[in-house]
Amino acid sequence: MLSDTFGRQFHYLRLSLTEACNFRCQYCLPDGYKGPSDDQFLTPAEIRTLLTGFSQLGTSKVRLTGGEPTLRRDFVDILSLTANTPGIERVAMTTHGGRLAKFAHDWKDAGLDQINVSIDSLDPRQFAAITGQDKLKEILLGLDKSIEAGLDVKVNTVLLNDFTDSRLSRFLDWLKHMPVTLRFIELMQTGENTTFFNQQHYRATPIKEQLLNAGWQPVIRRKDAGPAQEFYHPDYAGKVGLIMPYSKDFCSSCNRLRIAANGNLHLCLFSEKGISVRHWLKEGDVEGLKEHLVSCLGSKHATHYLHDGNTGATKHLAMLGG
């Protein structure tokens, strides 16, 4: 099992398939994606070597992310090669959900277990203002299709300063009947969103208090649980999760490593720079890759330095998938 000098074990890999995204979320890519074309990103053969190496070192869960992973033409091939890698027991994906209504069943058949869909508002006009895409209706239809297909569904909502009580109650009313986990994520500062961050950063602490006052109860944490704090309520079909990267101890439960679309290993979402593993991927050298990964883990830090406004080399989360 891959572990670091602080005793943390890493059974969970987040693999970014592309930096490209066709949404323009205000906090991520407000002017749209302007980077390199797909051909610089990892090939299926490189991904096979990567996943074999990681799974032999104990990785059992992989999340496909981006950018928008479903923009890759070979997305389904990559999905099934991930699901068919010996040792990988769970395959998740983070998506804007724009193609879910059409493909949820196909992706489930190809081996997908879980999806996290980003929905920042249940108000269509507000959704369009935040994401640059007027697609809330079809994304909600995609959620229904995903539940019908048997996927485990989570929804990601980034907390912004204008996250009023009325927005919160609309989300909570929705959860009465929607069997999904809604995760409120505190906005994180990145290299390119400092002004937006300073205007919009909103702490999740008041939401936690509101939930507890309304009878929501903390879900008992499994030993290998990640940094999200989860809550359930007997009158609701759905659950709520809070992701509070600025809270004390957030990093102590870190259980994940990240590979960027260009094949760089990131030991933290906000590390200084990625460590290239592409040489071993190009060569198809699983043993060399494993040796290199084990030696890299020694330099993982105890925590990020976001509290000091130090975002490392992360310009925006489309680089790494959050």
Distance CA 188, CA 197 (A): 7
Q: Which two tokens stand for residue 75?
A: 């997305």
For ligand SAM, which residue of 238, 241, 274, 322 counts as binding (CB under 6 A)?
322
Distance CA 321, CA 65 (A): 5
Min separation Cβ 256 and ligand SAM, Å: 13
Min separation Cβ 140 and ligand SAM, Å: 15
Binding characters for ligand SAM, 168-207, by CB under 6 A (x = yes): -----------------x-xx-x--x--------------
The smaller minimum CB distance to ligand SAM, of residues 59 and 311, is found at 311
Residues in 150-169 that interact with ligand SAM by CB under 6 A:
156, 158
The smaller minimum CB distance to ligand SAM, of residues 130 and 293, is found at 130
Strands (E), 77-232: 90-95, 114-118, 152-159, 181-186, 217-218, 229-232
* Alpha-carbon torsion (114, 118, 121, 127), positive or negative: negative
For ligand SAM, which residue of 2, 28, 153, 240 counts as binding (CB under 6 A)?
28
- Scanning 47-55, 62-70, 211-219, 225-233 for contacts with ligand SAM by CB under 6 A, the matching segment is 62-70
Q: Could you tell me if 63 and 11 are in contact, meaning their C-beta atoms sit under 8 angstroms apart? A: no
Distance CA 217, CA 236 (A): 12
Residue 176: CB atoms within 10 Å: 11
Binding-site size, ligand SAM (CB under 6 A): 21
Min separation Cβ 130 and ligand SAM, Å: 9
Output the residue with the shortest Cβ distance to ligand SAM: 322
Distance CA 89, CA 75 (A): 19
Tell whether residue 68 is a contact of ligand SAM (CB under 6 A): yes
Tell whether residue 258 is a contact of ligand SAM (CB under 6 A): no
The smaller minimum CB distance to ligand SAM, of residues 52 and 82, is found at 82
The smaller minimum CB distance to ligand SAM, of residues 201 and 292, is found at 201
SS percent in the chain: helix, strand, coil, step 5: 35, 20, 45
Tell whether residue 321 is a contact of ligand SAM (CB under 6 A): yes
Distance CA 187, CA 244 (A): 9
The smaller minimum CB distance to ligand SAM, of residues 143 and 187, is found at 187
Tell whether residue 228 is a contact of ligand SAM (CB under 6 A): no
Kind of pairing, strands 90-95 and 61-65? parallel
Distance CA 322, CA 203 (A): 18
Min separation Cβ 24 and ligand SAM, Å: 11
The residue whose two tokens read 């048997």 is 150
Distance CA 290, CA 55 (A): 10
Contact set with ligand SAM (CB under 6 A): 21, 27-28, 65-66, 68, 94-96, 118, 156, 158, 185, 187-188, 190, 193, 317-318, 321-322
